[in-house]
Structure 1
């Protein structure tokens, strides 16, 4: 390793660019120092779901189906709306307010369906298409991972 010090301000700026642009990776080289900042779904993103399944006293098969509304793998569903970033998911604009959407609601393309807060920035997540909300997989204030299914619009 060289004698150069790490430019933490540069790393913070690159991370902010990732959040602003919804990129998953950015790399720069400056004075023979290469810095790569990436946001990728970590293996640990599956740990909370795996740890949550044994908690209920119900049979494992029923517990596995109830959080996903009976959908075997929500991430592969064609109507899945996934998190574009790591953050905290909010179902309403502010505490005590009505949720943006509920199961059974019909939404239009571009309508805000929830918010993901990342680095104190509230990112409105818009419906990618018009349709009916058939499942919501997150709770208000729940941490979410990049690529995690949030809801289904059919």
Structure 2
């Protein structure tokens, strides 16, 4: 892939609403990422909101809660979320499944490119999105691993 084509792709990403573009030509793959204004601040705000205390839990209330240490798996790009490898097949994961780091959880189809979404660490699936074969936005919560 020549430099002028890469510059054109960078300009395209800069002018569009997409935050990630992956293009493969022969044996070369170019991935371009763009951070939208406020994305970093939104992530910090969510993190701070999650660190508040829960008086009911602290008092030993008998309510079910999510594990203390969970990792959120969020959509890195806008696209169509697929929870199964192919139509009619079982989903990659279900709530309660044990997963290994790097294990495929979802596929997001964006601009005819299939992006594999992998587990960031080993653990157990404690939350899954209801979306299947529907659109997700960048930053949408897809799963939690406890």
Q: If the length of structure 1 is used for normalisation, what is the TM-score?
A: 0.56
1:104-143 deviation digits (Å, cap 9, x = unpaired)? 1000000000101100111010000000001101321121
Shift, 1:18, TM fit: 2.9
- SS in structure 1 of the partner of residue 21 of structure 2: helix
Tell me the residue number matched to 1:35. Answer: none
Whether 1:118 aligns to 2:105 is no
Please tell me whether the aligned partners of residues 10 and 32 of structure 2 are also in contact (alpha carbons under 8 angstroms): no
- Distance in 2 (CA, whole Å) between partners of 1:12 and 1:148 is 24
Please tell me whether the aligned partners of residues 88 and 118 of structure 1 are also in contact (alpha carbons under 8 angstroms): yes
Question: Gaps spanning 5+ residues in structure 1: where?
Answer: 1-8, 26-37, 42-69, 72-76
Tell me the residue number matched to 2:56. Answer: none
Tell me the residue number matched to 1:79. Answer: 71
Tell me the residue number matched to 1:103. Answer: 95
Structure 2 CA distance for partners of 1:103 and 1:78, relative to 1, 3 Å? closer
Tell me the residue number matched to 2:140. Answer: 148
- Distance in 1 (CA, whole Å) between partners of 2:98 and 2:86 is 21
- Distance in 1 (CA, whole Å) between partners of 2:124 and 2:117 is 16
Whether 1:19 aligns to 2:21 is yes
- Distance in 1 (CA, whole Å) between partners of 2:38 and 2:113 is 19
1:56-109 deviation digits (Å, cap 9, x = unpaired)? xxxxxxxxxxxxxx87xxxxx841100000001000111001100000100000
Tell me the residue number matched to 1:28. Answer: none
- Distance in 2 (CA, whole Å) between partners of 1:138 and 1:123 is 19
Question: Gaps spanning 5+ residues in structure 2: where?
Answer: 1-6, 23-30, 40-64
